[in-house]
Structure 1
Amino acid sequence: MPFYSKDWRSPGEEWVKTQEGWEKKKVLECTAQRFPAINYNNSDDSQTKSWSQDNEEADKNNDSVSRVPPHCHITIKCTREIAGFNGLSEAVRRLDFSSAVRDVRRFNYICALLELLLGGQRLTHLPGAAQKLLLSMLEQLADQVAESKQNLNALRALLVALQSLREAERGSCWGRPLGSRALWRHHDHAIQRIHSIAQAICIRGPGPEVVPKLHDLPEECIREILLRIQDHRDLDAASSAWSVMASVCTEQRIWRELVAFHFSQQQIDGVLKGKDDGVDVDWKKVFHQLRKLYGLREDTQFAETLSLCRHCKCLFWRSLGHPCIADQCPEYRERLKEAGGPLPPHPVPPAAFLKFFSL
């Protein structure tokens, strides 16, 4: 005889009508931009109205009402006791990726995630709601780049991947893209808006009243700036932008400190084996050899990444925190003390984040 749990007669989830379709109320409660997106078409829904008014009052009184930080519970392994699956669109909403686009610390993380989805053609294998959500994120990213006039190269790389994906899907199934025509019509309009935003971006140099400019700085200051760059592609771009930067980028010190930043001494010694104490070493060549062998440090590519709590199996932004069982349950906290203390959260790079979902 099958066993039914206590909540099998539950009325189900509460849903709210938004501009992008119907969404779960508990998911919208985790997003910072939930209020402008909500579109109440049914004026007779008194519960929805009261919930909106309560949340608007809470936004006006942020000091007295604390908002739950964005977080998302993840099913790591399905067992007899725990069964379920992880939805990408729900996780994106719960972790509030829309507002993360406008955070300078999390911007590169969102760009890397979108690049993985567009580069591997994973976007076309997602449900329609997830596709619309990710294209909306890309449009918000384009708006952020247009406002800040920064990270234009990251936006262009995403647009190239998006255009190649769009052309590859043409004719994928009997001459038509997979999915409904209405969905791809929505995608085409979104892609056109993103391209129009990117084409309208115009970066102008500072006026003559702004002093000093970069070209007015002495060579010592330029060297100190380049020594703080951790991406070799930025060094190559800087060397092609100005002759003084090109001269500084040829110095061995720049590449030697870049090697020491990304790789351990044991890895460096393995490549330098047989050379006389590092004399006449081409550190740029050594850097690229080490990069091909070991790759670059992932923890340095992003100012902030998602973290996985090892106690409650919850994804969260480390700077924002999350409601953890280790903080809320005194009995669990006592057991952690007996076991040696709480475990630190595990960082989750974009590639590891996508492994939680069936893509």
Structure 2
Amino acid sequence: MPFLGQDWRSPGWSWIKTEDGWRRYESWSQELEREHDHCSINHSIILNSEDEEIFNNEEQEYASKKRKKDHFRNDRNTQCFYREKWIYVHKESTRERHSYCTLGEAFNRLDFSSAIQDIRRFNYVVRLLQLIAKSQLTSLSGVAQKNYFNILDKIVQKVLDDHQNPRLIKNLLQDLSSTLCILIRGEGKSVLVGNINIWICRLETILTWQQQLQNLQMTKHVDSGLTLSDLPLHVLSNILHRLSDGWDVVTLGQVTPALSVLSEDRQLWRKLCLYHFADKQFCRHLVLSEEGHVEWKLTYFALQKYYPTREQYGDTLHFCRHCSILFWKDSGHPCTAANPDSCFMPVSPQHFIDLFKF
């Protein structure tokens, strides 16, 4: 009797007896149908105009079911976790170590799932995911890509629940969807790890997330306590001067009329320009008014198009120069240096990417 199974070492499929005879039991079929009902996106968003002429309605339905099936098989395993929250960064084999560290391995080993729950690390992790989406997505292994999208799913759900930092996630999803569209449409199809149907399904999920964030409504909290409107003007001005992102200043200025006036302060925007950009940079792109005065707000956003702004995070990954270990500072690592604190160096998101470029 032939062995019925996907692998000769496996126990085989499960079978159930029906009135028409024995039928193979598929535990994922009902879940796939429910997921297919909730997630139905027009394929014209993903496919080119030439591809639309090829796919008819029946073929689209079949392809969609196959993508759901492949996506479910790929993501049914849980995210990989490691007990040690640090990783030894080595780029070449030595006599002691016959291996090297990759970006995907570091992404798996470091505890980013817990980091997104920490308000000090949230912006750092989002920026890191954005840089990976722009240029390093294809360098991740299959497990690292699965962890990447699992963490991204947790981030989106967190934003939908607490309504905080939606602008950061919108920018991240926009960059990620642009990268996937280029790869799926043929330019880099050969470098994608896994079935192409899995990536199309992931792109559909990203489009769904974007739609959910677009429809996100900020609920107004009814509170009889102290609000921003009750604070003195000098306190509100002090709050605005502590913000390092110009878009945060603009957003906060839309809350109350008093904040709207304070957010247009020329000294506030001049301070932001001097903080983020060098003198030679903003002198080349000064925006002057008709009276000859410098429009610092317009100058700030003009400079933002040409030069990157200074990044500021509450907490970052650290690199030990003595041990060559990458770690979160509060988690620590087994350091053998006499004075460990002198060996620690904060790692920016771009520096994290550069550590694994060979």
* TM-score when normalising by structure 1: 0.63
Residue number in structure 2 paired with 1:308 = 319
Cα–Cα, structure 1 residues 293 and 174, in superposed 2: closer, same or farther, change >3 Å?
closer
Q: Which runs of 5+ in 1 are unaligned?
A: 1-17, 31-69, 273-279, 327-332
Give a deviation string over 1:115-157, Cα, whole Å, max 9, x none.
112233x313432222211111100111221232211111111
Residue number in structure 2 paired with 1:90 = 105
Cα–Cα, structure 1 residues 142 and 230, in superposed 2: closer, same or farther, change >3 Å?
same
Match of 1:119, as an amino acid? K
Task: Point out which structure has higher relative CO (alpha carbons under 8 A, 6+ apart).
Answer: 1
Report deviation, 1:230: 1.2
Residue number in structure 2 paired with 1:147 = 161
Do 1:118 and 1:165's aligned partners in 2 also have CA atoms closer than 8 Å? yes
Residue number in structure 2 paired with 1:204 = 219
Alignment of 1:37-56 (within 5 A): none
Alignment of 1:52-201 (within 5 A): 70-76=85-91, 82-120=97-135, 122-172=136-186, 178=192, 179-181=194-196, 183-184=198-199, 187-188=202-203, 190-191=205-206, 194-195=209-210, 198=213, 201=216
- Give the whole-Å Cα distance in 1 for the aligned partners of 2:276 and 2:154: 32
- Give the whole-Å Cα distance in 2 for the aligned partners of 1:143 and 1:288: 30
Q: Which runs of 5+ in 2 are unaligned?
A: 1-74, 284-292
1:28 aligns to 2:82 (yes or no): yes
- Give the whole-Å Cα distance in 1 for the aligned partners of 2:211 and 2:299: 42
Match of 1:91, as an amino acid? A
Cα–Cα, structure 1 residues 283 and 177, in superposed 2: closer, same or farther, change >3 Å?
closer
Residue number in structure 1 paired with 2:355 = 356
Do 1:113 and 1:351's aligned partners in 2 also have CA atoms closer than 8 Å? yes
Residue number in structure 2 paired with 1:344 = 343
Match of 1:29, as an amino acid? R
Report deviation, 1:181: 3.8
Partner secondary structure for residue 157 of structure 2: helix
- Give the whole-Å Cα distance in 2 for the aligned partners of 1:297 and 1:82: 37
Partner secondary structure for residue 101 of structure 2: coil
- Give the whole-Å Cα distance in 2 for the aligned partners of 1:188 and 1:262: 34
Give a deviation string over 1:66-122, Cα, whole Å, max 9, x none.
xxxx211111555566553213333223211111111111101110011112233x3
- Give the whole-Å Cα distance in 2 for the aligned partners of 1:131 and 1:255: 40
Do 1:271 and 1:286's aligned partners in 2 also have CA atoms closer than 8 Å? yes
* TM-score when normalising by structure 2: 0.63
Partner secondary structure for residue 346 of structure 2: strand
1:228 aligns to 2:242 (yes or no): yes
- Give the whole-Å Cα distance in 2 for the aligned partners of 1:112 and 1:246: 28
Cα–Cα, structure 1 residues 188 and 233, in superposed 2: closer, same or farther, change >3 Å?
closer
Give a deviation string over 1:170-198, Cα, whole Å, max 9, x none.
32169999441453366356536645764
- Give the whole-Å Cα distance in 2 for the aligned partners of 1:87 and 1:152: 30
1:318 aligns to 2:336 (yes or no): no
Partner secondary structure for residue 303 of structure 1: coil
Partner secondary structure for residue 322 of structure 2: coil
Residue number in structure 2 paired with 1:65 = none
Q: RMSD of aligned C-alpha atoms?
A: 3.8
Match of 2:331, as an amino acid? L
Match of 2:179, as an amino acid? L
1:297 aligns to 2:310 (yes or no): yes
Report deviation, 1:228: 1.0
Report deviation, 1:224: 1.5
Give a deviation string over 1:254-312, Cα, whole Å, max 9, x none.
2344356557xxx559978xxxxxxx7665577678878985433xx111111100111
1:258 aligned residue (272, 280, 296): 272
Do 1:171 and 1:177's aligned partners in 2 also have CA atoms closer than 8 Å? no
- Give the whole-Å Cα distance in 2 for the aligned partners of 1:185 and 1:270: 42
- Give the whole-Å Cα distance in 1 for the aligned partners of 2:282 and 2:97: 47
Cα–Cα, structure 1 residues 156 and 21, in superposed 2: closer, same or farther, change >3 Å?
closer
Do 1:109 and 1:302's aligned partners in 2 also have CA atoms closer than 8 Å? yes
Cα–Cα, structure 1 residues 220 and 199, in superposed 2: closer, same or farther, change >3 Å?
same
- Give the whole-Å Cα distance in 2 for the aligned partners of 1:22 and 1:225: 40
